[in-house]
Structure 1
Amino acid sequence: MNFWHVCSAFVTAYLLGSIPSAIWYGEAYFGIDVRKFGSGNAGATNTFRVLGKRAGTIVLLIDVLKGWTATMLANILFFLEVIDGPQILTFKLLLGVMAVLGHLYPVFTRFKGGKGVATSLGMVLAIDPQVASVCIAIFVLVLLASNYVSLSSIVAAFAFPMMLVLGVFGQASTLLIVFGFLLFAIVVLTHQKNIVRLFNGSESRVYLWRRRNK
């Protein structure tokens, strides 16, 4: 194993995750720092609230792409013969986690970032696109029914390890199942304030098909 190739991949994954797409997009096209409005979060959800659906969608796709690209660096390491076949999943998980950590603690914005849900989705898409696709469907259905992004994220994050345990698309490795539950725990931890607001009825809603004031 080439130590420098591996280190370079990990640093690249972290830097990809650190790209503050919501902040940079808002400042470049609207002259607005999204952290100063709405929930104050530097993520796609707050971008939807502050800058609208188009901006929110663009930021969401960029954040997903960050996670996917960082995770797929494992394939490049395999192609370069830095790692072997059995190690691919492990390195995909590690590189994906580096991207998520980058999103949570981005070096470009003094280590204060978003909640990492979209970046985690990109990671999961690179690892198991079938399960990830179902999670996306679950997220959309819960969002349409509740208009709560936080609740949708938590439910979709829980569905991921549960589908692996149930073997919906075949038997999953123990490592991936454990990771799935850890990912769910991280989503819950980063949404603690949202959970409190959900229980007291003060959580903000996001409406996909109509304006909030209707």
Structure 2
Amino acid sequence: MRTRPVRGTVATAMLLATTWGCAVTGSSGSSDEPVPAPSSPAAAAHTTSTGSVSPARRARSVLEAEPPEKATLPSGRRVRISAVGTTSEGLLAVPDDVDVAGWWRGGSRLGDPFGSILVAAHVDSRAQGLGPFAELLTADRGARVRLASAGLEQTFEIRSRRLVAQGSLTDDAWIFAATGTARLTLVTCAPPYDASRGGYQNLAVVTAAPLGPPEES
């Protein structure tokens, strides 16, 4: 599972030409409106009883977004998630261990109000056999995935499963874009497998929508 480098800015995510690739290993929507800046000092600060102005603070009801650390798949199987970046070749550094998924830290986090939370894992390995993400190949619409971070949990409902051909994802920026409606995007490799052409020829891309806001765990 590989991708070219991606960054956490809207401009980069929208312009990026991304390439994915995956092989059996032998080793272990529309953009949201921008939030307007406060139109007056009163919107960004409050006056104390002595007349001095103190800086604005995050409301206690607002949860701070966090990197996902664990996913519970529709079967009930739990998968550990580690944060990943890119290799020196500009490829997404998905963990070799098929039991561990990689969250692209250039994308959205659990609790972010918009964008794709991209989580990817290998479908299998010669040494380890099928991985947990193999169940995504038959995931049904309406099935649920639970995502958890250090302090938050959120349930997502699968809305679609698509096959995307390996290669440039210029036209499929919705998979990784930190823009648009909030969503969970789960990715793994999909048949057919052709060793002479580099391995799996497709990606299975499962998109899930949040059923409610994240909750403190």
Same-fold call, TM cutoff 0.5 = no
Give 1 or 2: higher helix fraction. Answer: 1
Larger RCO, structures 1/2 (Cα 8 Å, 6+ apart):
2
TM-score, structure 2 normalization: 0.24
Rg (Cα) greater in structure: 2
